[in-house]
Homo-oligomer: A and B are copies of this chain.
Amino acid sequence: MAQAFKVASSTSPYADLPPICTALFEAKANKGLTFDQIGKAVGADEMWVASMFYGQAKLDPEQLEKLAEILDLPAANLKAEVGSHWWPSRAAVCEVPPRDPVLYRLFEGVLVYGQPIKALIHEKFGDGIMSMIDCKILVGKKPDPKGDRVVLTFDGKFLPYAKW
């Protein structure tokens, strides 16, 4: 196999992740699988699986076994590093402010439209927030003759402020 893909485990963000994550990325590349294909095998959305690869989400033991199977990695290794005893250090792989242009555009979305989004949430729901914990994030592709479009959806529960 002339083209055994590798990721640079000593560079960001891989150096900040459990070492098994490097193996996950390399196995995915060498198998030629998409996150969607892995997600279907694992029983989770592609976004949740991608989040797990970046140390941002936790799979349960059954999912880890399916993940091991489709990627031909030893399930024991996966459980040893990111099993039931492991908890994500969320947000650790995104600096503030992000410099990479893909990440920055998302961040700019908050900078520019954050206040009006807040105003609309208040107007429609009252005093509270959109949860980022009970929130599903979806990345879609919408064909468009003028250039395909990314459709990024945050579907989060509204949480009203408790009063006491």
A125 x B148 contact (CB < 8 A): yes
Choose from B15, B16, B116, B164 the contact partner of A44 (Cβ within 8 Å). B164
The smallest C-beta distance from A16 to any residue of chain B, in angstroms, reads 6
A123 smallest CB distance to B (angstroms): 6
- Say how many copies of this protein the assembly contains: 10
With A149-B156, A150-B130 in contact, is A122–B91 under 8 Å at CB?
no
Chain B residues contacting A144 (CB-CB under 8 Å) are 157
Give the residue of B58, B103, B136, B147 whose beta carbon is less than 8 angstroms from that of A118.
Answer: B103
Say yes or no: B108 contacts A50, CB within 8 Å: no
For chain A, residues 106 to 128, give those with C-beta under 8 angstroms from any C-beta of chain B: 106-125, 127-128
Chain A, interface size: which category?
35 or more
Inter-chain contact B112/A106, CB cutoff 8 Å: no
Q: Are A113 and B131 in contact (CB under 8 A)?
A: no
Chain A interfacial positions (CB closer than 8 Å to B)? 2-8, 10-13, 15-19, 29, 34-35, 44-48, 50-51, 53-54, 56-58, 76, 79-81, 83, 85-94, 96-125, 127-137, 139, 141-142, 144, 146-164
